[in-house]
Structure 1
Amino acid sequence: MLKRWDHYLPSEKLRCWVYKGVLPQVRGQVWLRLLNVDQVKARNARKYQEMKEAALASSRDIMQIDLDVNRTFRSHTMFWDRYGVGQRALFHVLAAYSVYDTEVGYCQGMSEIAAIVLMFLPENAFWALAQLMTDDRHAMHGFFVPGFQKLLRFQAHHQRVLQRALPDLRKHMAHGSS
């Protein structure tokens, strides 16, 4: 499918393949294509470098990012070492994003998403995160903007689904067991 990506892109077959799970060996290549990272990156040459530099000079989130990077996936070899290669890369992606998207800046919870993307797309993690957050198809931006509108809508929907499908479980989760 990767060799004939343009043929499969709009197909139900590709959608089913993705929902079944993409093998770790090709996951980065698939995410790169699904998120259109190469096109976005080409249209924004040097932007990531500029955002990294701007973040170090002016991001109000630097201290929180530094704290959270050290708490992110500590059992994964990529993030074991404080200020190691993985932690530095994660710090740069998050710091750059904090000035790239000033409405969101940085919010706890973003570090785990960025870290997973970084594991599979080390050279393109910033643009993959930007696409996940801002592209209309994925629109994760709404989970992190002040007020968390999209997160609250999803939580309310989850509660309705639980109430309809598993009312005893919903009651247990809401009140705990006695």
Structure 2
Amino acid sequence: MDKQNGTQQTENKQSEFDRSTAKERIDRIDPYGFERSEDFDYDSHEEFMSVYLAILTRRSIKWSKLLKGNNKVVKNIKVKRYVRKGIPNEHRSLIWMAASGAQAQLEQNPGYYRKLLEGERDPRLEDAIKTDMHRTFPDNVHFRKNAEPCLQQTLFNVLLAYGHHNTNVGYCQGMNFIVGYLILITKDEEKSFWLLDALLGRILPDYYSPAMLGLKSDQEVLGELVKLKVPAVAELMETHNVMWTLVVSRWFICLFIDILPVETVLRVWDCLFYEGSKIIFRVALTLIKHNQAYIQQATNFPDICDKFKEIIRGELVEDCHTFMKKIFTVPGSLSMATITRLREACQANVIAQGL
């Protein structure tokens, strides 16, 4: 009898250990499939989520009432306000598609995506994309070869179709991460393709063409905006001869993927799809202006670079809801007219300097 009890206790402990281990494994994976880092602060995350989940529940109820089962979204002040306060994950795909014009393109071009995949393939394009497959989110369980389903093939298809659709761009590193996020949200190849088309074709001006003229220009535009909004930081950069591209190029080319926490990136993208590329400047200016005093402690070139690596971490960016409020207040007014004017001047400068 004692032996049976002992065996039962051992089995119970083993079962408890298995449950604990399974929970630990689940806790290490975020809702989007990304493994959390070794130094992930579970306590502060739990504290934040205890508040944020209530916000998400309220937003979900409000969005459901607004949409009323309808997949048509008319842009107006109310919807814009709702987008800024966050789109619940169950509605993200629908709102991104509608707000960006991707849904209209999909409906106007039935069967087009499938034709791109079934047509003649460019072997150089295929090879370039395949090279980056294993480098795309190795820390995400859904993109691993043993995943079921494995999203690598979906990722490959979207990138290949887009490369054939836009031969001027083809494939460029950075696009794989953007498409990866689109797939995680839409769970649909064709929608991800049309959202990529909206981003690269309309929202981001000339970021991924071979010359990357738009990307280079926008980094210069940020520099000009910092001169206006945070002159002390601009002066520091100039004094130590630090080019903006050295500290912010990944912010722009990956749209803050692997820069900011996943949920914060998605909240930024909510506004990016609705309001356009000026959101990138609002995010960048908020990070710089909020951390102005910290950045100004830098005394040399490497120190400045280190400070810019640090300002993308911590409580400010972890609390996505508060951070998103700040991007619409901290930088102050920022009109599209101002950005357009600066883009024209910076683009002419980039071309003249052959950057």
Question: Could you state the TM-score of these two structures normalised by the residue count of structure 1?
Answer: 0.83
Contact preservation (8 Å) 1:107, 1:144:
yes
Deviations along 1:22-50, one digit per CA (max 9) or x if unpaired, are 12222112112213333322222221111
Tell me which residue corresponds to 1:68.
132
Tell me which residue corresponds to 2:302.
176
CA distance in 2, matches of 1:40, 1:86: 24
In the TM superposition, residue 122 of structure 1 has moved relative to its aligned partner by 2.4
CA distance in 1, matches of 2:303, 2:205: 35
CA distance in 2, matches of 1:141, 1:82: 37
Tell me which residue corresponds to 2:178.
113
Which ranges of 4 or more aligned residues in structure 1 deviate by more than 6 Å? Answer: none
CA distance in 1, matches of 2:165, 2:78: 35
In the TM superposition, residue 77 of structure 1 has moved relative to its aligned partner by 2.2
1:126 aligns with 2:193: yes
Deviations along 1:41-76, one digit per CA (max 9) or x if unpaired, are 222222111111236x22532112112122112212
Written as runs of structure 1 = structure 2, the 5 A alignment for 1:2-41 is: 2-3=67-68, 9-41=74-106
**Structure 1 residues 51 and 5: CA distance shift in structure 2, 3 A:** closer
Name structure 2 gaps, 5 residues minimum. Answer: 1-65, 243-300, 305-355
Deviations along 1:140-166, one digit per CA (max 9) or x if unpaired, are 251001211111111001122334405
**Structure 1 residues 43 and 10: CA distance shift in structure 2, 3 A:** closer
CA distance in 2, matches of 1:141, 1:92: 24
Contact preservation (8 Å) 2:98, 2:104:
no
Tell me which residue corresponds to 2:220.
156
**Structure 1 residues 161 and 92: CA distance shift in structure 2, 3 A:** same
Written as runs of structure 1 = structure 2, the 5 A alignment for 1:34-113 is: 34-54=99-119, 57-81=121-145, 85-113=150-178
In the TM superposition, residue 16 of structure 1 has moved relative to its aligned partner by 2.1
CA distance in 2, matches of 1:100, 1:65: 15
CA distance in 2, matches of 1:173, 1:82: 47
Moved more, 144-153 or 156-165: 156-165
Name structure 1 gaps, 5 residues minimum. Answer: none
Deviations along 1:95-114, one digit per CA (max 9) or x if unpaired, are 11001001111111111111
Contact preservation (8 Å) 1:104, 1:141:
no
Question: Could you state the TM-score of these two structures normalised by the residue count of structure 2?
Answer: 0.44
Contact preservation (8 Å) 1:40, 1:127:
yes
The amino acid across from 2:303 in the alignment is S
The higher radius of gyration belongs to 2
Contact preservation (8 Å) 2:102, 2:197:
no
**Structure 1 residues 166 and 86: CA distance shift in structure 2, 3 A:** farther
CA distance in 2, matches of 1:45, 1:68: 29
**Structure 1 residues 25 and 173: CA distance shift in structure 2, 3 A:** farther
In the TM superposition, residue 88 of structure 1 has moved relative to its aligned partner by 0.4
